[in-house]
Amino acid sequence: MTESRQRFYHLTTFGCQMNEHDSERIRGVLEEDGWMPAVEPDDADLLLFNTCSVRESAVSRLRGRLGEARRLKNEKPERLIGLAGCFAQNRKVEIFRDMPFLDLAFGPQNIADLPALLDSAESGSGQSGSFSDNDFLSAALPARRKIKYRAWVQAMTGCTNFCSYCVVPSVRGPERSRSARDIIEEVKRLVDDGVIEITILGQNVNSYGLDRDPGTADRVSFADLLMKLDAIEGLRRIRFMTSHPKDLGNDLVEAMRDLPKVCEHLHLPVQSGANRILDRMKRGYSREHYLELVENLYEQIPGVSLTTDIIVGFPGEKEEDFYRTMTLAAECQFDGAFTFMYSRRDGTAAADLPGRLPDATVKRRMHELVSLTQQIALVKNEAIIGEPVEVLIEGPSSRGDGLRGRTRQNKVVNYVAGASVKNKAEGCFTTVTIDSATSTTLKGRQACD
C-alpha cells in the first residue's frame, strides 16, 4: 500500500453460498492490500458489490443499491464503485458503457486482480476490468471469515451441465475440480484455526474429480474425498452442496450413512416433477429416477433431511405438469424447498423457448406450491418434538431471548439455556429437547450437559 491515509471498503454480497465464499476472498485480498472494512457505505472509499445473475430479482436489487452508491459518489467523487461476480462477468462487454459511474469490474475468476484494478482506478486511468476465464481457482487467495468455527471449502468451480434455464455455465465456465490433496490441506489448516464444521461447495459435487486426469493418483471420487475428510481429527461436522440427481451414486449415500462426521442432510434440487419439463430443462433424469433416489435415501440414512430447489412457470409448463411437481413434493416429503419463479436469462437455451406463461398463472402456482411445501415441512419438524437433538451453538436467537443453533439435519433451533447449564458459547455443542416447531425452525430447551 502506498497511501498513508487509511482506506475503507464496503462490500455487499448477492446470491448463493459460492458468492458468499468469494466475498471472503475479496475481503482477504483487500485487507492484505491495506483496506479496512467500513460499517456503513457512507464511511467507505470503495463501494463494492459481489453480484449474482441467476435470476432477474437479484439484478433488480443490485440496481436499487447502485442508485444509492451513485448518490454517495456524487457527494464525494473520489469514492470508487466496483462490481464483482456473475452479473459483472455476464455483462463484461457492455458494463462500462451502460454504467459510466463504475470504476472497476471483475468476474468470479479474477479476484486476484483486484489490487491492480484499484491501483489503476485510483491513478485516474479510467474504468478498468478483468474478465479472463483463467484456470485459476481462487482457493489459493487469502480469506477473511466472519465465523471462527465454521468455514466453506471450495472443491470445484464452474458447471458443465448447461441446464437450459441456467446462466452459471456461461459465467463461471466449465467444471474444474481442485486436487484432493489441496482440499485436505486447506481443511487441516482451517481445523488448526478453530474450525469444527465445513461445507464443501461445488455446483455439482457429485461429479467432483471426473474432470481430472485419470492418470493422477490424486483423482478421487466425491465419496472418497468425504472419507478422507472424515478422518481429520478435530473436525466435527461435514456438509456439502449442491448435489445433482443425475450423478448421485450409491457410494455417496453410503458415505453419508457410514461416515460419522458427514451430516444427515442432502440438498437435491429437483426443479420439476414432470418428465416433459425436466427434458426441456435438460436435467438428464426422470421423475421416476428422482423418486427412486429419494426412496433409497430415506431407507438407508435414518433421520436424513432432504431439501430441494423447484422452478415454477418454466416455458411450456402446463397445469398437469405443475400438478406432477405438486405430487412429487408430496411424495418426497421435503424438509424444505426453495421455490423460484422462472426468470428468463439472455444467452441460455430456454430464453428462446416458446410457451411463456402469464405472471398471474406463475404466481398462483408458486403460491400453491409454497403452501404445500410449508405444510409438509411443518409436519416433518413436528415429528421431532420431544426428541433430544445435537445442536451446534451459533449465538443469540434473533428475538434475543435465548440462543440459536443448528442440528446435523441443518435445522435451526431456538432455545432457552438452562440456568445451571455451562455450555452456552458460540461454536460449542449442546443437546436441546424440542418442544415445538414451525415449518422453518424448531424451539426447545437445553438439556443438562
Q: CA separation (Å) from 83 to 52, 121, 215? A: 10, 13, 40
* Binding residue (CB under 6 A) for ligand SF4 from 204, 339, 373, 410: 204
Q: Are 251 and 305 in contact (CB under 8 A)?
A: no
Q: State yes or no: residue 55 binds ligand SF4 (CB under 6 A).
A: no
The least CB distance from residue 244 to ligand SF4, in Å, is 5
DSSP E strands, 156-261: 156-157, 176-177, 197-201, 237-241
336 binds, among ligand 5AD, ligand SF4, none (CB under 5 to 8 A by kind): none
The least CB distance from residue 280 to ligand 5AD, in Å, is 13
* Binding residue (CB under 6 A) for ligand SF4 from 166, 196, 337, 442: 166
343 binds, among ligand 5AD, ligand SF4, none (CB under 5 to 8 A by kind): ligand 5AD
The least CB distance from residue 387 to ligand 5AD, in Å, is 31
Q: Which of 333, 414, 407 is nearest to 375 (CA)?
A: 333
DSSP state of 10: E
Q: Name which of 9 and 314 has its Cβ closer to ligand 5AD.
A: 314
- 3-state DSSP call for residue 84? strand
What's the rounded Cα separation, in Å, for the pair 249 and 237?
Answer: 21
Q: State yes or no: residue 89 binds ligand SF4 (CB under 6 A).
A: no
* Binding residue (CB under 6 A) for ligand SF4 from 29, 102, 105, 168: 168
The least CB distance from residue 281 to ligand 5AD, in Å, is 9
396 binds, among ligand 5AD, ligand SF4, none (CB under 5 to 8 A by kind): none
312 binds, among ligand SF4, ligand 5AD, none (CB under 5 to 8 A by kind): none
Q: Which of residues 122-161 bind ligand SF4 (CB under 6 A)?
A: 159, 161
Amino acid at 189: R
Q: Angle at CA 192, nearest 5°, toward 189 and 194?
A: 115
Q: Which of residues 242-261 bind ligand SF4 (CB under 6 A)?
A: 244
Q: Which of residues 215-244 bind ligand SF4 (CB under 6 A)?
A: 244
Q: Are 63 and 184 in contact (CB under 8 A)?
A: no
161 binds, among ligand 5AD, ligand SF4, none (CB under 5 to 8 A by kind): ligand SF4
Q: State yes or no: residue 307 binds ligand SF4 (CB under 6 A).
A: no
Instruction: Enter the C-alpha cell of residue 254.
Output: 453410503
The total of other beta-carbon atoms located within 10 Å of residue 92's CB is 16
Instruction: Enter the C-alpha cell of residue 312.
Output: 415454477
What's the rounded Cα separation, in Å, for the pair 376 and 322?
Answer: 17
